[in-house]
Amino acid sequence: MEEQQDRNGRVITITSGKGGVGKTTTTANVGAALAARGKSVVLVDADIGLRNLDIVLGLENRIVYDIVDVVEGRCRLRQALIRDKRLANLALIPAAQTRDKEAVSPEQMRELCDELRQQFDFILIDSPAGIERGFRNAIAGADEVLVVTNPEVSAVRDADRIVGLVEAAELPPPRLIVNRIDPELVRRGDMLSVDDVLEILAIPLIGVVPADESIVTATNRGEPVALDPQSRAGQAFRDIAARLLGEDVPFQPLEVPNGVWRRMLRALGFGGRA
């Protein structure tokens, strides 16, 4: 901390407890949206051994050094930073694929975060699933935490556990992202609503991301939907970025898009599930 703090960036950890709820997609898209707003952003993949964030960003083929190389001193921090191919002010520190969570300690994570804080406005840390070492590494250097959940009982249960652990770590109350909500299923009473989720978790809401098929294709292609002006999910991620920047953005109404079309398709015998 004796060194000069040029940017005094914010370290934000994205976590969930349960796996597969969209942490990595959220990290990539919120990061891309912040970078598109002109902020300098670094994404840190803390899921050592299960590296993913590079794929979502389409940067897999550029990895030479990773986070373990940095903390073990095999390379300079600068060498492990991979610049995004679309946004010049977006960078990635990839996880190591051949190591495990024990390869990094919370103390090393804190030091890494402090170093990155000086160079970037935002440091987004993609946490692994679970509540063990990997999670504790991911929140070790965090200033704030975003909890991603799906509108499913099991995901909410795990998110609740995570919220408790974040509070116990004496971090400010985390903010919530409800990912993959399907307004049609909610309307039919087959899915928890955002209010149902909030009633249990009782933390501030920062984003609601609708279920969107374009996420799957975009992810496979390594293109963050946040950069696609047509995507509803992309808009939701851009809204989250704006809220992180302190803007008061209203939540998009969760109406069924093309409701008439869907109803007609269902009437014609095409399944209603998105």
Partner 1 sequence: MLDGQRAEAAVRVRGTQDGVRLLLPPTVPFAAVLAQVRDLLETRAAFFRGAALTLDFTEREPVLDEIVALQQVLDARGVRVQAISAGTAEYRERLARWGYRTEGAEPARRLRLIAPGSEEEADGNATYVRRTLRSGMSVEAAGHLVLIGDVNPGALVVAGGDVLVWGVVRGTVHAGRNGDTEAVIAALRLAPMQLRIANLVARAPDRGAQHLDAPALARVADGQIIIEPWRIERR
Binding site residue list: 18-25
**Interface mask (CB under 8 A) for partner 1, residues 217-256, using x and -?**
----------------------------------------
Q: Which is nearer to partner 1, 197 or 244 (CB)?
A: 197
Q: Which is nearer to partner 1, 19 or 38 (CB)?
A: 19
Kindly give the residue spans of alpha helices, DSSP state H, lying in 89-223. Answer: 106-117, 133-140, 153-168, 183-187, 194-201, 213-221
Query: What count of other Cβ atoms lies within 10 Å of the Cβ of residue 89?
Result: 18
Q: Hey, is 8 helix, strand or coil?
A: coil
> What is d(CA 209, CA 102) in angstroms, rounded to the nearest whole number?
33
Cβ contacts of 56 within 8 Å, gap of 6 or more: 24, 25, 28, 219, 222, 224
The single residue listed with the structure tokens 């300690």 is 105
Q: Which is nearer to partner 1, 153 or 216 (CB)?
A: 153
Nearest approach, Cβ of 131 to partner 1 (angstroms)? 8
Q: Which is nearer to partner 1, 131 or 274 (CB)?
A: 131
* Of the candidate residues 171, 194, 200, 205, the single one contacting partner 1 (CB under 8 A): 200
Q: How many residues bind partner 1 (CB under 8 A)?
A: 12
Q: Which is nearer to partner 1, 193 or 252 (CB)?
A: 193
Residues 158-177 that bind partner 1 (CB under 8 A): 158, 160-161, 163-165, 167
Nearest approach, Cβ of 192 to partner 1 (angstroms)? 12
19 binds partner 1 (CB under 8 A): no
> What is d(CA 45, CA 90) in angstroms, rounded to the nearest whole number?
14
- In this structure, the chain runs to a length of 274
Determine contact, residues 91/81, Cβ cutoff 8 Å.
Answer: yes
Nearest approach, Cβ of 106 to partner 1 (angstroms)? 20
Q: Whose CA is closest to 194, among 208, 175, 204? A: 208
Residues 103-162 that bind partner 1 (CB under 8 A): 131, 153, 157-158, 160-161
Binding site residue list for ATP: 18-25
Nearest approach, Cβ of 142 to partner 1 (angstroms)? 18
Q: Which tokens belong to 103?
A: 């390869």
Q: Which tokens belong to 254?
A: 């969760």
Nearest approach, Cβ of 129 to partner 1 (angstroms)? 15
Q: C-alpha angle 19/12/210, rounded to 5°?
A: 50
Q: Which is nearer to partner 1, 42 or 197 (CB)?
A: 197
202 binds partner 1 (CB under 8 A): yes
Nearest approach, Cβ of 143 to partner 1 (angstroms)? 21
Cβ contacts of 170 within 8 Å, gap of 6 or more: none
Residue ranges that bind partner 1, judged by CB under 8 A? 131, 153, 157-158, 160-161, 163-165, 167, 200, 202
